[in-house]
Amino acid sequence: MRNFCSQKIPRPIGDFQFLQNKQEPIYLEIGAGTGDFALNWVKKNSNDYFIAIEKTSEKFKKFINKYEAAGSPSQLIPVHANAINFIAHFVKENSVKKIFINYPNPYPKKSQANKRFHNMPFMSFLFTRLINDGEIEYATNLESIAKEATSLLTEKWNFDIMKCKKILDVNLASSAFEKKYLERGEICYRLQFKKK
């Protein structure tokens, strides 16, 4: 597998320099979708900065509408960018307490395996952004992906698995996709990893 080289990653368009002054450690979400998880999270954790990154314009627009309807909470920072490009340029080493990856596209075909986050060299860079006891929380509705992510994070990327929670109750849904899967009667898996 090739190494991740942040200098080779294009800088995302937008002025994100203001983020450099945010109090650390911060929390990050990769692939925030319509922002439901992030908005729920800041309601419960009002003292910490949460940067929620979404790459598609369509989802980001819906996120912003929900963010404004919620009174634009100041500790939540919605970012419209590809998370890989954004993190490569604007997230400092040793500055993140926890990274959430909620229901990433599973890219189910064998030929797409290298597009799954847990298979990417980018994971080694994410590791360096986390503080010493930093964590990754990874959610999926697919048992095979939960198993694959657990193997990769523990055997390749130097994380310990702390918890694997199965969610079945739709009333406990914390993101739009989690709600959709639970309403279909599927099991959702929430995996919690800690940096070794």
Ligand X SMILES: C[S@@+](CC[C@H](N)C(=O)[O-])C[C@H]1O[C@@H](n2cnc3c(N)ncnc32)[C@H](O)[C@@H]1O
CA-CA distance, 146 to 81, in Å (whole number)?
26
Both tokens assigned to 160: 């310990």
Does 137 help bind ligand X (rule: CB under 6 A)? no
Do β-strands 76-80 and 96-102 pair in parallel, antiparallel, or remain unpaired? unpaired
Q: At its nearest, how many Å lie between ligand X and the CB of residue 82?
A: 5
Q: Which is nearer to ligand X, 51 or 130 (CB)?
A: 51
Distance CA 185, CA 54 (A): 27
Q: In angstroms, what is the minimal distance from the CB of 140 to ligand X?
A: 10
User: 137, 163 in Cβ contact below 8 A?
Assistant: no
Binding mask 47-66 for ligand X (x = CB under 6 A): ------xxxx--x-------
Across-strand partners of 148? none
Q: Which residues ranging from 3 to 32 are in contact with ligand X (CB under 6 A)? A: 30-32
Q: What is the DSSP letter of 93?
A: T
Using CB under 6 A as the binding rule, the residues of this chain from 103 to 122 that contact ligand X are 103-105
84 counts as binding ligand X under rule CB under 6 A: yes
Residue given tokens 């994100």 in the structure block: 16
Element (H, E) at 57: helix 57-69
Which one of 177, 181, 189, 193 is in contact with ligand X (CB under 6 A)?
Answer: 177
In this chain, which of 67, 90, 102, 150 binds ligand X, going by CB under 6 A? Answer: 102
The contact set with ligand X (CB under 6 A) reads 30-33, 37, 53-56, 59, 82-84, 102-105, 175-178
